[in-house]
Amino acid sequence: MTSIRRHIHALESFLEHSGARLSHTALPHSVHGRTYRDLITLRDGLNPRQELVALVHETAHWLAHRGAHSAMHCTVFEYEAEAVEAMVLARLGLARHIADPAAAIEDATDNLLSASVTRAICASDRICAALGLKAQTPVHFQAAPRKEIVFEYEQYGMGDFFGLPEAL
């Protein structure tokens, strides 16, 4: 429980130093948190684990979505924040029912569009850095414009195909 409180404190400090405000207040029981501009609000009475999960989720929204004003993207933004939540909790070793945290990190972005994956990974990396976790090793590649890149996963017998520049 102490490590969870330490993670909460680290995220609170990160938000404060980054210009976000954090408050705790009464919210409907089904709502653990919400983000509006530079204000993150968490529901009073959450246990430490719930508070950490909500704080990671809302921090993801703040990092990745605070400049967006379109209600059309609401569902996409929720998927992205949930992916960030899953990746960060896996990195912390707090993911539920996951035998392999590395697989959980990969699975978190499985059904996201490439732009969403980029936003989710960026937000996850910033949150993990705020928590003092070592950054994931980046993968660098080069390709000519409008050419296809193929990532092959021989272990799984499949590959991903991305057309540039649309996917990046």
Render pLDDT for 56-74 as a digit per residue (tens, 0 to 9).
999 999 999 887 766 657 8
Residue 91 has pLDDT above 80, yes or no: yes
On whether both 143 and 73 belong to a single domain, the answer is no
Q: What is the pLDDT of residue 104?
A: 59
- The pTM (predicted TM-score) of the whole model is 0.71
- CB-CB contact of 101 with 95 (8 Å): yes
d(Cα 130, Cα 96) in Å, to the nearest integer?
22
Give the mean pLDDT of 125-147. Answer: 72
pLDDT at 157 over 90: no
Residues 86 and 158 in one domain: no
**Burial group, residue 111, by CB count within 10 angstroms (0-12, 13-18, 19+):** exposed
* pLDDT > 90: percent of the chain: 45
Are both 69 and 42 inside the same structural domain? yes
The listed range with the strongest mean pLDDT (64-78, 79-93, 131-145, 151-165) is 79-93
Both 9 and 23 in a single domain?
yes
- Whether the per-residue pLDDT at 54 is higher than 90: the answer is yes
Domain count, the chain: 2
Q: Shortest CA distance to 164 belongs to which of 145, 150, 151?
A: 145
Residue 130 confidence (pLDDT): 94
Who wins on pLDDT, 18 or 166?
A: 18
Residues 148 and 103 in one domain: no
Tens of pLDDT, residues 25-45: 999 999 999 999 899 999 999
Reported confidence tier of residue 24, pLDDT bands at 50, 70, 90: very high
The reply to whether 78 and 124 lie within a common domain is yes
Residue 164 confidence (pLDDT):
38
| N-term to C-term CA, the chain | 39
Domain that holds residue 44: 2-137
